[in-house]
Amino acid sequence: MTTVNLNFPKPAKVFNKQIYDNLFDYGHFIEVWYGGASSGKSHGVVQKVVLKACKKWSYPRKVLWLRKVDRTIKDSIFADVLDCLSRWRLLSLCKVNQTNYTITLPNGSQFLFKGMQDPERIKSIKGLSDVVMEEASEFTLDDYTQLTLRLREPKHKNRQLFCMFNPVSKVNWTYKQWFAPDAEYDPSRVAVHHSTYKDNRFLDADNIATIEALKKNNPAYYKIYTLGEFATLDKLVFPTFEKRRLRADSLNKFPSLFGLDFGYTNDPSVFIHVKADVKSKVLYVLEEYVKKGMLNDEIAQAIKSLGYAKEKITADAAEKKSIAEIKRNGIYRIRPAEKGPNSVVQGVNFLKEFKIVVDDRCVKTIEELENYTYKKDKATNEYTNEPVDSYNHCIDAIRYAVEEINGKGTVKGVISRNRLF
């Protein structure tokens, strides 16, 4: 095994201050890193864990890097770790398996990257030294509890579990575990770190301007998304829904419906697959594909890789050029959604007629349903029937998908338009 020697003569050019101040603190079994978007928390934790694994230990580290759903690993935490190794000129010395998502460092330390949609898969992994939960709010309390129990290999000293997340609503387990008034934890075992974009010295002026524009345009979202505060929920649009593991083959008798919402830099593009039991008024959310920074040809390729290139897909009508480009890339049955006055309100009200059941792997849809609220009238302080324009990318895609059964599409006579009013 090769000894890894890393030297950072100008650490201010590599690390944000908050992570640098805690870089070699391994004294807490749990480290909680939460805060606003673009705060650098995930990047900082990657740096800390990689550097920890590069140090000389009696036994090489064995680190498990987790997302709730394994489909998201390649373009998130796996890519972040590869980028860190590359920047530190270590990547060429590592053994990287792009199929199984494993990395072996030159000193013998191992990185394993997994999704936890099936917790049983994790139980077979032995001898862990550290665990990293990216987007920890997408996991469950049971997931977290099981992971704390996996970190019991006595040969590894300074075992740690790292939890990184942006705060969501106060119904989330992370709030109840560490932040609720009745939350109890031992500060000698749990370290909690909060950060915002103001703590990230590597943000450029354009990114800062975009983030700060939210303060004026959407103050409620600014507090959650930018400042990293837990939301005190107003009136939820969907106060009840069910989340459980769904089996597609048991729902074959119901029609499949597909929706696409566009995003790029700050907002993700979302592709949604739902099934509708119109007679019993149950809507099943089977699959989600959520990713930022996607070009139209990449969206088309993602749809093909999911096996839905030949399906009818209803997409955001505001992006007619994008729809045309995706069609040119082989998704021939994509079409624009109908938009008009009150189309959002009408579409949301239609969804509210259904019991919504979400596959527990559709973590972004679940997050949105738990945070999608109605606006308040500033003059009267009463709730309006119009939702707040945030936490709605998956929900918008679902609205587009169900147009066919909302009296707007081509499925004949399932539900008449007049029935909605």
Q: Kindly state the average pLDDT of the residues 85-96.
A: 96
Please report the pLDDT score of residue 110 as a whole number: 98
Residue 91 CA: distances (Å) to CA of 54, 57, 121, 157: 12, 20, 28, 26
**pLDDT averaged over the chain?**
90
| pTM, full prediction | 0.78
Residue 408 clears pLDDT 90, i.e. is over it: no
136, 139, 352, 347: which is closest to 235 by C-alpha? 352
Of 39 and 120, which is predicted with more confidence? 39
Q: Give per-residue pLDDT as tens, 234-268.
A: 688 998 999 999 998 999 999 999 999 999 888 89
Strands 269-277 and 334-336, sheet pairing: unpaired
* Residue 113 token pair: 């990257």
346, 347, 345, 286: which is closest to 311 by C-alpha? 286
Please report the pLDDT score of residue 411 as a whole number: 38
Strands 355-359 and 334-336, sheet pairing: unpaired
Residue 10 clears pLDDT 50, i.e. is over it: yes
Please report the pLDDT score of residue 338 as a whole number: 86
Please report the pLDDT score of residue 39 as a whole number: 94
Q: Kindly state the average pLDDT of the residues 345-372.
A: 93
Please tell me the distance from the alpha carbon of residue 127 to that of residue 153, in angstroms, as a whole number: 5
Q: Give per-residue pLDDT as tens, 286-311.
A: 999 999 999 999 999 999 999 999 99
Residue 329 clears pLDDT 60, i.e. is over it: yes
Residues of the chain with CATH 3.30.420.280: 242-420
Residues of the chain with CATH 3.40.50.300: 11-205
Q: Kindly state the average pLDDT of the residues 195-212.
A: 92
Q: Give per-residue pLDDT as tens, 363-377.
A: 999 999 988 988 888
Q: Categorize the per-residue pLDDT at 420 as very low, low, confident or very high, splitting at 50, 70 and 90.
A: very low
Please report the pLDDT score of residue 415 as a whole number: 28
Residue 383 clears pLDDT 90, i.e. is over it: no
CATH number of 11-205: 3.40.50.300
Please report the pLDDT score of residue 232 as a whole number: 63
Tell the burial category of 128 from Cβ atoms under 10 Å away from its Cβ (0-12, 13-18, 19+).
Answer: buried
Please tell me the distance from the alpha carbon of residue 90 to that of residue 108, in angstroms, as a whole number: 13
CA atoms within 13 A on the CB side of 411: 18
Residue 361 clears pLDDT 80, i.e. is over it: yes
Looking at domain 242-420, its CATH class is alpha beta
Is residue 300 within 8 Å of residue 329, measured between CB atoms?
yes
High-pLDDT (> 90) share of the chain, %:
71
Which residues 6+ apart lie within 8 Å of 283 measured at CB?
A: 274, 275, 276, 277, 351, 354, 355, 356, 357, 398, 402
Residue 204 clears pLDDT 60, i.e. is over it: yes
Please tell me the distance from the alpha carbon of residue 148 to that of residue 128, in angstroms, as a whole number: 11
Please report the pLDDT score of residue 414 as a whole number: 32
